Amino acid sequence: MTNFKQATNYKFKIPNKKISNLSFGIGILFGIVILTFGIPYHALGQSEIILSQRVTKSDLQTGYTITTQEKDAYITIKPNTLNHSAFVELIKPEFYPATLLDKDLVSNVYHYAILPATDNQLSNSIALNMLYSSEEARYKEIYIFDQNLSSWQNLEGSINTKTRTLTAQTSQASGFIAVFADHLDKSEYLKEKINSESMLILDAKTGEILLERGSEIQRPIASLTKLMTAAVFLDHNPGWNAKISMKAQDDTIPSKIYVKTGDVFTTHDLFYATLIKSANNAAKALARSTGLTHQEFVDKMNQKAKDLGMENTHYVEVTGLSSENVSTAHDLMILSKNLFADMTFLQATTPKYFTIATATGKRISMQNSNKLINLPYTILGSKTGFTYEAGRCLTMKAKNKSGKEVVAITLGADQIGAQWDDMRILLDATLKE
């Protein structure tokens, strides 16, 4: 028996039509109620029932095909797939789970059911066949909504270009089905190469999401925190030549500039050390230079996040060492796109090497924490992050020779060096000419 979730757990696409005959406590539901014999019945509203009937065992054993009225999709139950009668249903739903961010929906969405079934699985597979427009030249596949994963999953299959038909096999007894076209060619197979749990790649000029996975999952963000630390500092900058004395409480491992208590730096040098070296002690001193208390500064970070529309972001300190500093790839995309458009951040995040000096002339050379600064693209912004809780995190903005610009975020890589491999793969996929 299929377990459907209430609408509060789905993101629904709601067409601009009058909603009628559909209510379920809180919110709108396209779901299932259990009737006689345990057969699910859809709360239809304005949904279009294409087929809803019991099919005999003898009919199923000779093979059975369900076809939409528009002839744009048909489901084939092969002979001897089922050894019992079944309730068969096909619906063109009014409501369905939110479509994928990095793809375009290029077909109608349908929902089918072949029941009863155990754990929503048939003993054998059925064939899904869906047509696409003659004008659609992008890479496309049939997707099915997996309730257990609460996400659309691509189904490997075949394509007949003459009939413009995609065919795929599934043993899932019920589900939403549709055809999606990639913004980035064969993106689902590209994702298989990526270790990072969350990622988002945006065309910086058009705003189109080229690739996405887990971008709404809130997670610790490590030193990507320092982007907001630097942004709030700029809002309260006491002057680039203001001098700040390092204090014992600034000293924080592992990433830091090696200084002594009492060493004096300009805010300019602390700003660069915070972003290029990702130095924790520099970030603490930089925040202190504004004259705000630590809590006041953190409050400003959270307010700025709110002002930017970063709805799933929260900070508790300025370095990123706390696992309570959390955000999402989507929110960090908003921040990165905003900050990397500022020349101040380009200059302070992209040099491979940079030297700062104390007031007494002691020089400290720093190397950029990002090992991808020398990629064959113009790097327009960069920030790294790592803690055991956050995994390996990276945000970059880059441009190719043709002028295409992308902002890419990867979060939660759990293999050593995976953040570099992941980002290189993603930038090559979107920028390589």
Candidates 226, 284, 300, 383; catalytic one: 226
Q: Which amino acid is at 220?
A: P
Candidates 196, 215, 278, 369; catalytic one: 278
Tell me the sheet residues that pair with 42. Answer: 32
Candidates 198, 223, 327, 336; catalytic one: 223
CA–CA distance, 306 with 138 (Å, rounded to integer): 37
Q: Is 164 left (phi over 0), alpha (psi -120 to 50) or beta?
A: left
Q: Which amino acid is at 80?
A: N
CA–CA distance, 211 with 262 (Å, rounded to integer): 47
CA–CA distance, 315 with 385 (Å, rounded to integer): 15
The sign of the CA dihedral 80, 82, 85, 90 is negative
- Asked if 43 and 31 count as a contact pair (C-beta separation under 8 A), the reply is yes
User: Nearest 5°: phi and psi at 90?
Assistant: -140, 130
CB 226: neighbour CB atoms within 10 A? 27
Per the annotation, the verdict on 226 as an active-site residue is yes
Q: Burial code of 89-99, b = ≥16 C-beta within 10 A, e = fewer?
A: bbbbbbbbbee
CA–CA distance, 418 with 410 (Å, rounded to integer): 10
CA–CA distance, 375 with 396 (Å, rounded to integer): 11
> Which segments of 41-180 does DSSP mark as H helices, in order?
57-61
Per the annotation, the verdict on 107 as an active-site residue is no
Looking at residue 5, the DSSP 8-state letter turns out to be P
CB 125: neighbour CB atoms within 10 A? 15
Give the tokens for residue 266. 């300009």
Catalytic center residues: 223, 226, 278
